[in-house]
Homo-oligomer: A and B are copies of this chain.
Amino acid sequence: MSVSVWQLSAQEKKVSQWERFEVVLHGSAEGNPFSDVSLYADFWQQEGDTVSVQGFYDGDGRYIIRFMPAMPGVWHYATKSNLPSLAGKKGNLKCVAAPTGNHGPVRVKDTHNFMYADGMVYYPLGTTAYAWIHMPQSVQEKTLLSLEKAGFNKLRMCVFPKNYGLCKEEPEIYPFLVAKYSAGKPVFDFTRFNPAFFRHLEKRIGDLKNLGIEADLILFHPYDKGRWGFDSMPRETNVAYVKYLVARLSSFSNVWWSLANEYDYVASKTEKDWKALIRTVVASDPYRHLCSIHGSTATYFPYWMEELTHASIQDEAPVEDFGRASIVRNIYRKPVVFDEVCYEGNLSSRWGRLSGPEMLHRIWQGLIAGTYVTHGECYQWNEGSMDTIFWAKGGEWRGESWKRIVFTRSLLNSLPQPLQLADVSRDHRTATAGDNYYLIYFGRQMQDEWLFSLPAKNASCQKVKSGTKYKVEIIDTWNMTVTEYPRTFEVGKTIDYRHYDVNYGKVRLPLLPYLMLRVTALDE
């Protein structure tokens, strides 16, 4: 996808919508080009409507400007730089319609949900592999195969390596150049990035893109503890790092910015520091990719900050039981993603020992309330930090809930519109997906029958009309079956805020947990 236009200046320069166009320039490698050289380009279709894009130094005298056109048509560009050899370069490119399967970057849809730039609804169903790009290449390849097999469409992953009880691997390559080794440990030159590291990161983000996976990229985290010092770099280094990262990566349509994992555990930074870094990211990103930040359990950042596109929350309470997640949705007026709700696993730590069914249950608790939940698994079979636990390292799945993701996504993808509670704060089980389309989730509750009834209220959609006939499908979310119920139902008039079947008909249910009903109007 990389098009070096100066080599190809005589040819037609084409790029697909939401793909990457590169201007590669050559200049001096003297001094410190990372800090000494400023470079950017303006891109425009019509004068006055300009996208300004920062370039970056890629090493070996190579300077790159990357552009992701959002609109088909002819774009013009011109570079500016304090290095005369890089300044004043002009050119054109032709942006052609996106190929099938490229829907563009994910945006916020209708306050609480997500869609791709082409308008297709995006239902995030992500997982977690924080340090996967720092593992041996063979593990990384396995991770990609695992992600493809499971069908996740978002991955929480860190730029920096992880030094944590269960993840101690030394990376092969670092984001900063190693100035020297001291007692076998790298000492970094924080003024010089390591382009090879970023090329590797880009390759992996590209690999995810090919799998339809959004890279929810975590820029900082506290799991360093003095080992490399990436959690406690000077402020100007943090800013330079963020700008360099954004200049390199913002042309990837599938990148999201997650300023931190467990931001409040990063001892060196205050909330004010985080806000400044968030503003730096947003100001540097010409495409306004999704941007949020993640705290420790029940630590809610002020997600109302306008630069944040959504709330990326660690808290299990909202998705453990009914009646909770919708409160968070009602408060924020932004999409809510519970990005950490404990993980499926067998650890002794309480955050890493959910059963598979409980992990999936939490995902559905979020979904029926109009929010989203991220998966993770933490199975440890061997003692010690070298075991491969997907949540930290990627590798191979060992749990059970990942096997339900394709099925879960298929249920979501067949919705006419995103879910929300039909009768908010009154009926915590009935989600509406529009006119005459309901999912009713029973969670851990088992019962052998359900008296057919729908709330009269239906969010902002069409209310139930007396006389409407419905069919019912029994969905076993865990066993992944959809069974159409052999009879249909016709609702009568409103009785105490609800509509019952005119004959008070019931749905007989198998005595199983995690059942859901799909209730839809009969085609007539």
Residues on A facing B (Cβ under 8 Å): 297-300, 302, 304, 315-318, 320-321, 323-324, 326-328, 330-333, 348, 350, 424-426, 428, 496-497
Contact = CB atoms under 8 A, between A and B. Distances in A.
A262 to B, nearest CB: 14
A300 B330 contact: yes
Contacts of A424: 297-298, 317
Contacts of A318: 327
Contacts of A330: 298-300, 315
Contacts of A496: 348, 350
How many chain copies does the complex carry?
Answer: 2
Contact of A326 (B317, B321, B497): B317
Contacts of A348: 496
A317 B425 contact: yes
Nearest to A424: B298
Nearest to A305: B304
Given A317-B326, A323-B324, A324-B324, A297 B425 contact: yes
Contact of A323 (B299, B300, B320): B320
A423 to B, nearest CB: 10
Contact of A327 (B302, B315, B428): B315
A501 to B, nearest CB: 21
Given A317-B326, A331-B331, A302 B304 contact: yes
A425 B300 CA distance: 12
A463 B320 CA distance: 25
A9 to B, nearest CB: 52
A393 to B, nearest CB: 26
Nearest to A320: B323
Contacts of A333: 302
A327 B304 CA distance: 16
B326 A328 contact: no
Contacts of A326: 298, 317
Nearest to A295: B330
Contacts of A321: 321, 323
26 contacts: A297-B424, A297-B426, A298-B424, A298-B425, A300-B330, A300-B331, A302-B304, A302-B333, A315-B425, A316-B425, A316-B426, A317-B324, A317-B326, A317-B424, A317-B425, A317-B428, A320-B323, A321-B323, A323-B324, A324-B324, A327-B328, A328-B331, A331-B331, A350-B426, A350-B496, A350-B497
A324 B304 CA distance: 20
A497 B317 CA distance: 17
Given A297-B426, A298-B330, A302-B304, 11 more contacts: A297-B425, A299-B330, A300-B331, A304-B304, A316-B425, A317-B323, A317-B327, A317-B425, A317-B428, A318-B327, A321-B321
A328 B315 CA distance: 12
A348 to B, nearest CB: 8
Contacts of A304: 302, 304
Nearest to A317: B425
Contacts of A332: 331
Contacts of A298: 326-327, 330, 424-425
A328 B298 CA distance: 10
A426 B298 CA distance: 10
A3 to B, nearest CB: 45
A458 to B, nearest CB: 15
A496 B353 CA distance: 12
Contacts of A302: 304, 333
Nearest to A348: B496
A452 to B, nearest CB: 20
A293 to B, nearest CB: 14
A425 B424 CA distance: 22
Contacts of A315: 327, 330, 425
Contacts of A426: 297, 316, 350
A237 to B, nearest CB: 30
A271 to B, nearest CB: 10
A330 B332 CA distance: 13
A302 to B, nearest CB: 6
A304 B497 CA distance: 33
A424 B296 CA distance: 12
Contacts of A328: 327, 331
Contacts of A428: 317
Contacts of A425: 297-298, 315-317
